Amino acid sequence: MTKLEQVEKSVAELSPDELKAFAAWFEALQADMWDRQIEADAQSGRLDKHAEQALADHRAGRTRPL
């Protein structure tokens, strides 16, 4: 049995309250991973082109207030 299969089996056996707690933990884990990826991309310059395009669009009047 693979690790993934073991996790799937364990999750399937959780009580409703345990499943709710697991889901909250997993959502927080995914959010943290996303934040770290965005930070790494920003530091590496991967987002520079997108930021420059957004600023150019704003200066050209192609944006609107949120």
Comparing C-alpha atoms, which of 35, 54, 53 is closest to residue 43?
Answer: 35
Residues 14, 25: contact at Cβ < 8 Å?
no
Q: What is the pLDDT of residues 10-64, one digit of tens each?
A: 999 999 999 999 999 999 999 999 999 999 999 999 999 999 999 999 999 999 9
The predicted model scores a pTM of 0.70
Averaged pLDDT, 2-16: 98
- Give the ranges where the chain is alpha helix by DSSP (H): 3-12, 16-44, 48-59
